[in-house]
A and B are shown apart, each in its own frame.
Chain A
Amino acid sequence: MLFNEPSPLETKVLTRRFGLPNSASIDTYLATEGYQAFLKAAKMKPEEIIGEVKASNLRGRGGAGFPTGMKWGFVPRTSPKPKYIVVNGDESEPGTCKDRVLIENDPHQLIEGVLIAGLSVDAHAGYIYIRGEYRYLIEVMEKAIAEAYEKGWLGKNIQGTGFDFELYAHTGAGAYECGEESALLESLEGKRGIPRIRPPFPAVAGAFQSPTILNNVETFCAVPAILRDGGAAFAALGIPKSGGTKMTCLTGHVNKPGVYELRLGFPVKQMIEEVGGGIRNGKKLKAFVPGGSSCPVLTAAEVEGATMDYDSMAARKTMLGSGGVIIMDEDTCMVKAALRIMRFYAHESCGWCIPCREGTTWLKKILMRFHDGGGTRTDIDLIGDIAKNMLGRTFCPLGDAAAMPTISIVEKFRQEFEDHLNGKPCPYEHSGSVVTV
């Protein structure tokens, strides 16, 4: 089921089956070139499969943007240990809701991507980790897996290729931190989602201490198209160094929020104006978050000339991230936005690293006081100072995720903090409502 109308400006590769009758069924999948990429890959050498993925310039779609082919190449294929494929479907970066539609509308595309990854490293089992809140997707995935077994696309000697693969859907139970790959592996092993010290990386010691390919749902979903049409064709959809398309979630103050598949390098202004139908109520843009709440925010001026790809965002000292675009109009209180973002990271910090555990909690308290009108001028610098002291000082990126948006908001919207000083009521908060605890 689709929750928003598609846009004519989309480049439909991963979403090509969306809107077809019973798009999630194996019959629809098989009738639309489904599993053909797997059959093609089964005749290829593992290094040729990885070569195609490298040629596609596919980069991890969960947020980190690491080149996928290179990641697969790190797995020691000849290791005597069993190898595993793990799918990160923990989607929990605020602003992000794309993996949900990918699983719901085309679960077999994900299965096929996993099978191809399995061929490339000689893995014979895989786990699809889905966040607990997406319970209905566990049912969708289990149904798709059952269909695939029934029709011989999972199990022993798949379609006579001699390749065996077992696949399981695994539910989480509510924890943002489990979207971090090593925390996810801990959770998959029945433990608290505390990140692991790396190295060793999951490619060498991942699930059950065995070599593991671990990628985001969207990353695996891109793989069938890459094998089917060739890595070069996928790369050509994007721009140099950033191949293909990105599932982009438009959220916040736009007229047509929704999940859209856009080619990499899509101009931000066109995305807001034409795909998103412009800012709601004819207002002006104030702040733009490219890919989930952990990204540094951009001002309207910084958005000029920006395109949705890794390099354009890096040049503006932010990240393409997960594709969770958050658009804030001129009436948004940036102090409140910073507070709400910090409240989230304080709640989700696992507590292992002190800069993250203490930093997020103190920043939340200071921002709360500030938004309530109890802020002092020195607090403004203090917020930036605490956040900067968290950067790079934690085992996993959660500390950075909390610090980066905060630093950018304090630096770029300092005037709004000034406007809250001396007990003045929030200039933007019309109803008097303040975020609770």
Chain B
Amino acid sequence: MTFSAQLEARFDKLLKSYPPGRQRSAMIPMLLYAQDEIGQITDELVNEVANRIGSTPLQVNEVLSYYSMLHTKPLGKYHVQVCTNISCLLHDGDKLYEHACKKLGIGHKEVTADGEFSIEEVECMGACSWAPAIQVNYDFHHHVTPEKLDQLLDGLRKKPV
């Protein structure tokens, strides 16, 4: 597989970051960074990563199924992650999540028909003091109200590609 020069540079750096014979350590970062570029983790990517770190595809698949941020299905262009864990719940994070689902017409881990948005109800993401919080892809948004969420999603929808 070929990746962007930037990602290849990241891979090179990762493979040099661990003691000799311990290149397997690069697996999780490589999968996550590659997923960011190609959108999801495919069988082809699993084989590629396994080859580069000297592991087997089985070892990669075993790891893949454990981590909640590694996805084998495509997400929306904007992956909307709403936290409903306790500190966000106390600030109506559950209602915010329901609002987001209604607004986009999709549920947990579903993608809109146009591929623009996906939703995930997520566990604590470390924004507890600024609840309720969401992440759109990797961007945090704090103190989110249903109105702010609407504005944010409408703004993203209009954004030219």
Contacts and interface: CB of A to CB of B under 8 A. Distances in A.
Q: Classify chain A: how many residues form its interface, as a range.
A: 35 or more
B28 A133 contact: no
B102 to A, nearest CB: 12
A412 interface: no
B28 A190 contact: yes
A108 interface: no
A188 B123 contact: no
Contacts of A107: none
B23 to A, nearest CB: 8
B87 A171 contact: no
Contact of A92 (B70, B124, B130, B138): B124
Interface in B122-138: 123-131, 135, 138
Contacts of A170: 17, 25, 29
Interface stretch (B59-67, B110-118, B152-160): B59-67
A234 B87 CA distance: 31
A18 to B, nearest CB: 14
Interface string B56-93: 00010011001111100000000000001111011100
B67 A136 contact: no
A326 B87 contact: yes
Given A189-B24, A253-B90, A258-B129, A173 B84 contact: no
Interface string A315-330: 0000000001011100
A251 B31 contact: no
A97 B127 contact: yes
B129 A4 contact: yes
A93 B85 CA distance: 10
B17 A340 contact: no
Contacts of B31: 173
Interface of A: 3-4, 82, 91-97, 99-100, 125, 127, 131-136, 168, 170-176, 187-193, 208, 249-253, 257-259, 293, 324, 326-328, 332, 336-337, 340-341, 344, 347-348, 350, 431, 433, 435-437
Interface of B: 17-19, 22, 24-29, 31-33, 53, 55, 59, 62-63, 66-70, 84-87, 89-91, 94-95, 97-98, 108, 121, 123-131, 135, 138, 140, 142
